Amino acid sequence: MIFMKRFPTLEKLLPVYSIVMVVIYSWSLLRFFWRLPSLLFYSTAGEIAITYAYLVAVNFLESIVILLALIILSIILPGRWFFDRFVTKSVLLVSLGLWYLGYIASHISAEAPYPYDLIRWSPAVAVLIFALVFLLDQVGFLRKIILGLADSLIVFLFISIPISVISLLVVIVRNIF
């Protein structure tokens, strides 16, 4: 029963999920639209729509996994560390963590050698990110900006969740039949 007390409420989960969704979906949409002109040369509109459905379904599952990881952190860590300021600490953790993953992804290409140094330093960067999350959460005006931004981005959930569910259903139906 102690776990249920530290499970974040829906009012805390929605702003965090909106930030996760905006970061992940915008990164994928940017890459999708970058490749769209070349897709138009050799794909039909239906094939492009199916590609987009797969993209959105994967983004939906990724964002749920990230949200579940944050919920598990909230349950495992002491209440003072994470649960009390779940929204701000989660937003900071997601923003910094996904920024670093995007940084790693930008250094991986077919022509360049594998970035072993970036991967080797990942545990140290993870500790630094956790330290920054707890330090930046102490700054009052930054906390207000994060809460305001997270609350403002909830409106995107009204668009992204239905599109994501439809895309997930399309992917499931396509793979079953």
Report pTM. 0.84
Label each residue of 53-107 as H, E or C. Answer: HHHHHHHHHHHHHHHHHHHHHHHHCCHHHHHCCHHHHHHHHHHHHHHHHHHHHHC
Q: pLDDT exceeding 70 applies to what percent of the chain?
A: 97
As a whole number, the mean pLDDT across the chain is 87
Grade residue 55 by pLDDT with cuts at 50, 70 and 90: very high
Q: Distance between CA atoms of 12 and 76, rounded to whole angstroms?
A: 17
Long-range contacts of 33-37 (CB under 8 A, 24+ apart): none
Q: How far is CA 155 from the centre of its chain?
A: 16
Residue (of 132, 128, 31) closest to 91 by Cα position: 132
Confidence of residue 18 (pLDDT cuts 50, 70, 90): very high
pLDDT in tens, 143-168: 888 888 888 889 999 999 999 999 99
The region of weakest confidence among 21-25, 82-86, 134-138 is: 82-86
CA distance 43 to 126: 40
Give the pLDDT confidence score for residue 163 in this predicted structure: 94
pLDDT at position 29 is 92
Mean pLDDT of 127-153: 86
What's the pLDDT tens digit per position in 88-115?
Answer: 888 888 988 988 888 888 777 767 777 7
Name the residue among 12, 7, 9, 24 with its Cα closest to residue 156: 24
Is the pLDDT assigned to residue 3 strictly greater than 70? no
Is a pLDDT exceeding 90 seen at residue 65? Answer: yes
Using the predicted structure, report yes or no on whether residue 1 has a pLDDT greater than 70: no
